[in-house]
Amino acid sequence: MNFTKEQILAYCNEFSKNTLMETLKIEYIDAGEGFLVAKMPVNSGVHQPMGLLHGGASVALAESVGSAASQFFINPKEQEVRGIEISANHLKSIREGIVFGTARIIHKGKSIHLWEIKITDEAGNLISLCKLTNMVLEKKKTE
């Protein structure tokens, strides 16, 4: 990794402005070799009708942190990342507090990145287990 932890977190939090990540109050809080962590508050803004964390909000957290993590394995001047598949197993419910999404690289190829994202609560309980596949694309040349 050619970036400091502080540079990674600053970059991720800056590019999240005016996006779904800002709407969901996702904040990137830790990074290291092959992993990235973000947190998201659990409140009525991310609840489903029964007052629990919505599975879609969990998946949005997972895709956000996994896609952001792929940015640090590409050349952003020539390449870009697209999430092409995500799966999630929701294992435990939560009504309030904070959840943490930790993305860890499973496969780092030239054109495909595979991430495992564990979403946990403040006590470390596993809330959701997700798998994200990102495709690395060459940017189109503009004339």
What is the set of active-site residues? 63
Give the tokens for residue 102. 């930790």
pLDDT digits (tens, 9 = 90+) for 23-64: 999 999 999 998 999 999 999 999 999 999 999 999 999 999
Cα–Cα distance measured from residue 91 to residue 99, given in angstroms and rounded to the nearest whole number? 13
pLDDT confidence band for 143 (50 / 70 / 90): low
Residues near 110 by Cβ (< 8 Å), separated by ≥ 6? 136
Buried b (16+ CB within 10 A) or exposed e, 42-63: beeebbeeeebbbeebbbbbbb
Whether the predicted pLDDT of 97 surpasses 90:
yes
What tokens does 101 get? 């999404």
Tokens of 6: 């502080």
What's the mean per-residue pLDDT of the chain? 95
